[in-house]
Amino acid sequence: MQGKIALEEHFSIEDTLMDSAGFLGEHVWEELKSRLLDIHGKRLAQMDQHGIEITILSLNAPAVQAIADRKRAYDVARKANDFLAEQVRKNPRRFQAFAALPMQDPERATREYERCIKELGFVGALVNGFSQIDDPKSAVYLDLPQYRDFWGVVEKLDYPFYLHPRNPLPHMAQIYEGHPWLLGPTWAFGQETAVHALRLMGSGLFDKYPGLKIVLGHLGEGLPYSIWRVDNRNAWTKAKPKYPAKRKIGEYFQQHFWLTTSGNFRTQTLIDAMLEIGSDRILFSTDWPFENIDHAAIWFDAATISELDRQKIGRLNAKALFKL
């Protein structure tokens, strides 16, 4: 399929490059590093070869969210956003941008988001899960009250917010001790991000801001498979939910969330997501440079779905959602 749009596609600046050093084996670090630092070379050639017309770029992880010092988090976010804006200006037909945000300081994050949308022409934000604030051992999640005004601005500006994974902090990850292979994209990324998304849904955030649009990668971090059980656990007891939100969690999931195919190139899983959330809310992505563009594109172009759904997932949904 020609004309695909991809939106979980990462780059790095020198300040955040080493944040990606541990995710893959040392034997591929030089290749990964070159992919992260490249935008207009091999990345664009791969796009051309595999029918991707537009890529929405985002900073690598955890990057800004792992900088406990509030001022430095702001400085790095602003530096990354200015760099990305310059790269997009070089080829705006092929590249668009997500803002990196210093969520350590909600007021600064709000101002930076407004700057990125209104002045730099970005099409949303991508934030790497929880933020460490002041104390490197802290983990502050986006459902907390101090972020409500920020979410109001996100709703008003009417662009999507991509909730991207990061690993749990070591002192919060005892279940992975002795099994480091479970960290990262194998399992911990999905578990961490799914719980964060559920917190947003249960907090009442979408009751207060019904126009919010949230994007999750990897075909929903396992949520399409589990969302029914989240609402219907022990249904025979007829107990009321213990969260502040006014409706069932599955309703928020179906009305406020979009899912990408990033790093999850499995037709059975795609079809499950389509059945749960609808093909209008699924978006093609690859997860470059951590996954291969050819693996994503070749799989998607041949997936056993209708051609109408292929066009919607591959291009049309993203074009509408991001106003491209």
Nearest to 157 by CA among 214, 105, 114: 114
Question: Is residue 105 annotated as a catalytic residue, yes or no?
Answer: no
Q: Environment class of residue 235 by beta-carbon count within 10 Å: exposed (0-12), middle (13-18) or buried (19+)?
A: exposed
Which residue in the list 287, 294, 301, 309 is annotated as catalytic?
287
Q: How far apart are CA 81 and CA 90, in angstroms?
A: 14
Residue 168, C-beta contacts closer than 8 angstroms, at least 6 positions apart: 139, 176, 188, 192
Residue 204 burial (CB count, 10 A): 17
Strand partners, 190: none
Which residue has tokens 């994974």?
165
Phi, psi dihedrals of residue 4, rounded to the nearest 5°: -65, 150
Distance CA 58, CA 20 (A): 13
Contact between 163 and 157 (Cβ < 8 Å): no
CA gap 83, 55 in Å, rounded: 16
Q: How many helices (H) and strands (E) does the chain have?
A: 13, 8
Q: What is the C-alpha separation between 41 and 36, in angstroms, rounded?
A: 11
- What's the rounded Cα separation, in Å, for the pair 306 and 312? 10
Tokens of 200: 């947003």
Active-site residue list: 287
